[in-house]
Amino acid sequence: MAGYVKADRYRLPGVTVLQLWARDCPVTHSYAEVCMQYDPHNGAVAWCPFMYGLHVRHGGWHVDTARTPREAASIMAAADDAPEQNHAILCLRQRSESTDVGAIRRH
């Protein structure tokens, strides 16, 4: 069943790469699964295969919604210097034996 997953924005130390980490990944049931990674230098965006959108709020107000990686990159670029925002990943919330979870591969 699809739905929202709360996420935290995190900047990798020493670089400008931004990541969104699921607070509780519905597929792995763990914290800090990388749902999305954005590199502002080259504009590359990687999404978890289960992710189908990004919802951003500031306080109680809706700020933006992205349905494609390109839209999400624009939001992340604009939000880089923005005040604290709340992010929610639109996630399929299901398991798949043949699909790896996360935007990046962990070895």
The angle formed by the CA atoms of residues 27, 21 and 28, to the nearest 5 degrees, is 15
Number of domain units in the chain? 1
Distance CA 10, CA 22 (A): 11
Position 22 in a domain: yes
**pLDDT of 83:** 58
Query: Hey, is 23 helix, strand or coil?
Result: coil
Q: In terms of residue numbers, what domain contains 35?
A: 3-91
The pLDDT averaged over each successive group of 10 residues in the chain (107 residues) is 84 85 90 91 90 88 90 80 77 80 73
Residue 65, domain member (yes or no):
yes
> CA-CA distances (angstroms) from residue 86 to 20, 42, 57, 67?
11, 25, 5, 17
Query: How far apart are the C-alpha atoms of 53 and 72, rounded to whole Å?
Result: 8
Residue 103 is assigned to a structural domain of this protein: no
